[in-house]
Structure 1
Amino acid sequence: MNIPSSPSEGRPTTGEPVRLGALVPLTRPGWTEAGRHLLAGLELAVGEINGIGGIDGRPLELVVRDTAADPARAEAHVDELAGLGVTAVVGEYHSVVARAVATRAEALGVPFLCSSAVLDALTDEPAEGVARLAPAQSHGWRIYADFLLRQGRNRIAVVAQPGVYWASGTRVLRERLAPHGGSVLTLDANTLTPEALCDALADHGATALLLLVGHPEPAVPIVRAVRRDARLADLLVGAPAGQPEFPSWAVALGEEGAGIPFLRYLPERLGPLGERVGKELHERLGEAPSFVAFEGWDTVTVLAEALRSHGTGRAALASAWPHVAVEGTRGPIRFTRTPDIAVWQWAWAPVQVADRDPAEPGRLRTLHSG
């Protein structure tokens, strides 16, 4: 199903709305910039769907809840939304939160389309009602490891905070690099000061430091310390989780935040649909949209097609995932069963390694595509 170039070409909607629960991190300690971009994409697509007649004449309605990166809070929201009669739940950025949402939604029989979380084990057991647009962490982080190898960086140090997402990423990197003679040293972000971290990096002879930590703390002081340490002038600093994607990174770090490769889920060039949606997202956000905003738009567009083709009942919608075929902003979207992934998965969204151009930190450039 292709969205018309302008939502004003459509028809008014009437009747009882089709309600979707939208889970996004809008307050700290959640990554609020990601939440704002995700919500902008969701809301833009809902407006466009309603502009062309909604779901068989019924308007889509988002019921938004703030997860604040808290799994328990998110589970409670799923319970509440189920009681409110939502047809499905969409969204979420933080992997540990999305995992809690997926497990609870599947238990309640509420379909969940995960927009942006990448943890491979989104559920422990196969889930019929859960689907995901974002690529699995193992897929994207292997591409990042391949980029490091191409750059001749195989003596890797990671500075990490505790957590299943960071631990999973470290494991992916280690498994990908080891057959090529690479090594991964793990340093504890919670016990090392930035200065002590620099000493450890210099002693180890690391060729790259990966930031598996939150932003702005402790990422910003770590980057400042490393950039200002003459012993580490040749060290590549990377952030595979995508921290440099958002404008606050450039505001906090300026030139020191440039040249730090990160993962983003966009093609090298957007097609006409992606270009059109990107311009509208830019107007809505007042800044360049991140890949997360595109994930939000694609989420609602996929769900609208599934609702039109299979109906608005929860059970019918849960059975729709393997039959959906939609042109998204970043390419054709279909869901399949993928080895070691227990949910319906788009395999795969395009993956880039990008950074902020040292010559122009406000500009993002593509370094590697997978």
Structure 2
Amino acid sequence: MSTSPGVGGAGGTAVRIGALVPLTPPGWVEAGRQLLAGLELGVRDVNDAGGVGGRPLELVVRDTAADPQRAAAAVEELARLDVAAVAGEYHSVVARAAAARADALGLPFLCSSAVLDALTGQPTEWVARIAPAQSHGWRVYADFLLGAGHRRIAVAAQPSVYWASGTGILRDHLAAHGGGVVELDVDALGTAALCDALAAHGATALLLLAGHPEPAASVVRAVRRDPRLAGVLIGAPAGQPEFAGWATLLGGDGAGIPFLRYLPERLTPLGVRVEAALRERPARAPSFVAFEGYDTIAVLADVLRAHGTDRARVAASWAGVETEGTRGRIRFSRAPGIGVRQWVWPPVQVVDRDPADPGRFRVLHTG
């Protein structure tokens, strides 16, 4: 068991919160560490302020390793460990498995970072989400592509519910504006044949709907080195270039690749303070995923202070949440076609790494 014990001014029996994070491969480890850093800082701040009714918060951390079955088993274990709620998870398919199990067990789950619209198979009161739904964020990305003059889009895709959902969102939105999408199966084609197909299709943008670091990094290198594709924009709506590991792996080749991140033009005063504290923890700039983790704990702390630790009361409180987060005021509501309580909406940006300085981000579009 991995736990993050309560510290600071709170005393008494701890209030436990389960935390689901990918901390080992094939999970996206860098994203998991960012998410955990935000969750842990949130717990520290709550406890320094006196905890929840004088009781400290304590994280009970479970590594999902991007495995849906492992996540579902972790939710069952956490339910037996008497956690008041479960928080976290980055990978959408993993979060979907966790949400289904939490719903079946009657365990509140506040999802931090996963965006798949169909987080649950049916509407539920047990699950709420901080991150925006994929249909919202990816439509913003499609608007960016259209605004930049891109209507012939190719996607380098791997088989996945998440990638298939993203492709469908892009196809529908682009078709409504005279655009189109062609799918290239990166696993079946390999990078050389993918470049041939991309050149033959005449697409002006190629989107990486594939895993990180591979095959996404190999596709980037192949396209960058193919003179036929010199004018093709490479994009990564799922956010692969957000993390420092991307820049380390690809250097200049990884710059100029627009991706989605969920940050405002200006952080709230709380966000400014949290950003400074996060910079001290992982020894590198925090990503939006760390802010999602912190906001998750801020919401749960408010709910637990107001309604106690009874699971049914926690779940029933989602509709009344009004918490000042790092990126704005968080309220949950029902969005059409989404079965969980949802923050409608966190801020959305399309950003890339500056080719002149890959350590610097440029905001290209907001939605």
| Pairing partner for 1:81 from 71, 78, 82 | 78
TM-score normalised by length of structure 1? 0.97
| Pairing partner for 2:142 from 127, 142, 145 | 145
Q: Find the counterpart in structure 1 of residue 321 from structure 2.
A: 324
After TM superposition, list the pairs within 5 Å mapping 1:59-208 onto structure 2.
59-208=56-205
CA distance in 2 between partners of 1:333 and 1:41 (Å): 16
1:57 aligns with 2:49: no
CA distance in 2 between partners of 1:266 and 1:241 (Å): 14
4+ residue runs of structure 1 moved beyond 3 angstroms?
A: none
1:280 maps to a residue whose letter is A
Q: Deviations over 1:33-57 (max 9, x none)?
A: 0000000000001001000110000
Structure 1 residue 266 displacement after superposition: 0.3
Q: Deviations over 1:163-183 (max 9, x none)?
A: 100000000000000021101
Number of equivalences: 361
CA distance in 1 between partners of 2:337 and 2:206 (Å): 29
Structure 1 residue 271 displacement after superposition: 2.5
2:177 maps to a residue whose letter is H
- Tell me the SS of whatever aligns to 1:193: helix
1:294 aligns with 2:291: yes
- Tell me the SS of whatever aligns to 1:159: strand
TM-score normalised by length of structure 2? 0.97
1:267 maps to a residue whose letter is P
1:284 aligns with 2:281: yes
Q: Find the counterpart in structure 2 of residue 3 from structure 1.
A: none
CA distance in 1 between partners of 2:300 and 2:346 (Å): 17
Q: Find the counterpart in structure 2 of residue 262 from structure 1.
A: 259
Q: Find the counterpart in structure 1 of residue 354 from structure 2.
A: 357
Structure 1 residue 129 displacement after superposition: 1.0
1:224 aligns with 2:224: no
Query: Where do 5+ consecutive residues of structure 1 fail to align?
Result: 1-9
- Tell me the SS of whatever aligns to 1:368: strand
CA distance in 2 between partners of 1:304 and 1:277 (Å): 16
2:218 maps to a residue whose letter is P
Structure 1 residue 272 displacement after superposition: 1.8
Q: Find the counterpart in structure 2 of residue 17 from structure 1.
A: 14
Q: Against the structure 1 CA distance between its residues 86 and 202, is the aligned structure 2 distance closer, same or farther, given a 3 Å change threshold?
A: same
Query: Where do 5+ consecutive residues of structure 2 fail to align?
Result: 1-6
Identity of aligned residues (%): 70
Is 2:116–2:133's contact at 8 Å kept on the other side of the alignment? Answer: yes
Which segment drifts farther, 271-280 or 350-359? 271-280
1:306 aligns with 2:303: yes
- Tell me the SS of whatever aligns to 2:18: strand
CA distance in 1 between partners of 2:332 and 2:268 (Å): 21
Structure 1 residue 11 displacement after superposition: 6.8
CA distance in 1 between partners of 2:43 and 2:260 (Å): 27
Q: CA RMSD in A?
A: 0.9
CA distance in 1 between partners of 2:147 and 2:363 (Å): 14
CA distance in 1 between partners of 2:13 and 2:101 (Å): 26
2:104 maps to a residue whose letter is A
1:23 maps to a residue whose letter is L
Q: Deviations over 1:153-211 (max 9, x none)?
A: 01000010001000000000000000211010000011111111111111111100000
